[in-house]
Amino acid sequence: MTFLKLRAAVVCGFIALGTLPAIAQETVENGDDLAKIVEELLASAHANRMSEAFVHWNGEGEIPGNCAVCHSSLGMVDYVRGPMTTVGIIDHPVGLGTTVDCVACHNSASASLTAVPFPSGATVEDLGPSAVCTVCHQGRASTQSVVSAIAGREDDVIDGDLSFINVHYAPAAATLMGGVVQGGFEYRGKAYKGQFTHVPKLDTCVGCHQPHTLEVKLDNCTACHQGANRFEDIRISRNDFDGNGNTSEGISAPINAFHEKVLSTIQLYASNVLQAPIAYNANNYPYFFADTNGDGVASADEANFPNRYQNWTPRLLKAAYNYQLVQKDKGIYSHNPHYALQLLFDSIEDLSDKVDVDMSGLTRP
C-alpha cells in the first residue's frame, strides 16, 4: 500500500467510525493540523504494521481475547466499552490488521475513561487523557501473580511446577504508579515508593510524551535539569546509591549498576545453591535459560524454548521477575527511579541470605 493510500485509510477509518471528539472536530476544520497528526501517528511505533507486537498472530488468523486489548484497536475499543472486570482481557477474539489507530484512543468510551484497573486488582482514578495509555502499558502481572505462584512453597526448594513469570513489555504505567499498583515484586515487610509525582504537568504519560509521535522532548526537561544532554543523564538524588563515589551521573547509572548486580547474584545463587547455572537473553522468550556450558551468557544455541530454565525456586523467581521488569521498561529511570532501585536492592538482599554478595556501599532509597 502506498503511503498516501494508507494515510487515507487511517483518516477514513477514524471518521467513518464517527468517533471524532469535540476537540478533534474543531481541528478537523483545519485540515493541515489533522494531516500532521495522521503523519505523526503513522511514523510512530503505534502504527508500525511490521512490528512483532502487531504481526505475532498472523499465523493464527485472529487475536485471542487475552491479547487483543493491547495489540489491536478492535480489542481496545471493546474493552473500554465494556465493564473491564477481567483486567486486560475481553471474552472474544478479534480480527487481524489493526494497530494502535486513532479510534483506539478517540472513541466515546476512551474519551471518557478516567479509572483503569491493574493486574494487582488496584484501580487508579483520575488519569485524564493518560487513561488510554494506562490500559495498554500496565504489564500483565504483579506482586500478587508471584505470591500466588509460590504460595505454600519453600524459598530454596526447586519446584518443577514453577515457571518464569514475565511482567510483559513496556509496563510504564505500572512503574509510574509504583507501590500503588505493585507491578514489581514487592518483598514483605519493605516499604515502596508510590506514584512518581515528579512535578506538575510532567507527571503523566501525555505530560511527557506527545500522544501521537510518542516523543519526549529533552527541551522540556532542561529548564530544570540543566546540562543534561540525554534523558539518561538527569540526576537530582544526592545519595550515592551504588557507592561508586559519583553522584552527578544520571540516576539511570545506579539503576543499571543494581540491575547488573541482580543478574550476577541470580547466577551465583543458581550455580552455588541450586547447582543449575542460569543465563539471561533479553530478546528470546522466556528469557531465562539453562546455561549448559556455564559461560554466563545465553548464546544462540542455548536461548531457545526447549532449553528454558526449569529449576525455579521461589527466591529465584522473585528476583528474576524484578530483573525483567526493569529490563522491559526502557524509561524506568524517568517513570519511577526510586521504585526501580528499591525492587533491585531488595532482590539482591534477599538472594544474599543464601549467597555471599558484597552489599557494602549499596544504599536503598
Residues 58-87 touching ligand HEC, rule: CB under 6 A, are 66-67, 69-71, 76
Interface of this chain with ligand HEC, residues 94 to 153, rule: CB under 6 A: 100, 102, 104-106, 129-130, 132-138, 140
Residue with Cβ nearer ligand HEC (30 or 299) = 30
| Residue 117 CB, nearest approach to ligand HEC (Å) | 11
Cell numbers standing for residue 140: 500483565
Q: Does 46 bind ligand HEC (CB under 6 A)?
A: yes
Residue 28: alpha-carbon gap to chain centroid = 33
Interface of this chain with ligand HEC, residues 204 to 233, rule: CB under 6 A: 204-209, 211-212, 214, 216, 220-221, 223-225, 231
Residue 211 to residue 45: CA distance in whole angstroms:
11
Q: Does 333 bind ligand HEC (CB under 6 A)?
A: yes
| Residue 221 CB, nearest approach to ligand HEC (Å) | 3
| Residue 151 CB, nearest approach to ligand HEC (Å) | 23
Residue with Cβ nearer ligand HEC (235 or 261) = 235
Residue with Cβ nearer ligand HEC (233 or 349) = 233
Cell numbers standing for residue 182: 505493585
In this structure, the number of other CB atoms found within 10 A of the CB of residue 5 comes to: 9
The residue type of 68 is A
Distances (CA, A) of 98 to 18, 47, 183: 17, 9, 28
Interface of this chain with ligand HEC, residues 291 to 330, rule: CB under 6 A: 330
The closest residue (CB) to ligand HEC is 331
Residue with Cβ nearer ligand HEC (53 or 326) = 53
Q: Does 237 bind ligand HEC (CB under 6 A)?
A: yes
| Residue 5 CB, nearest approach to ligand HEC (Å) | 15
Q: Does 37 bind ligand HEC (CB under 6 A)?
A: yes
Residue with Cβ nearer ligand HEC (153 or 225) = 225
The contacts of residue 292 (CB under 8 Å, 6+ apart) are 277, 302, 307
Residue 276 to residue 313: CA distance in whole angstroms:
11
CB 246 within 8 A of CB 231: no
Distances (CA, A) of 257 to 127, 252, 344: 32, 9, 10
The contacts of residue 275 (CB under 8 Å, 6+ apart) are none
Nearest to 7 by CA among 74, 77, 101: 101
Q: From the CA atom positions of the chain, what is the Rg in Å?
A: 22
Residue with Cβ nearer ligand HEC (158 or 286) = 286
**Contact range with ligand HEC by CB under 6 A, out of 172-180, 183-191, 261-269, 309-317:** 172-180
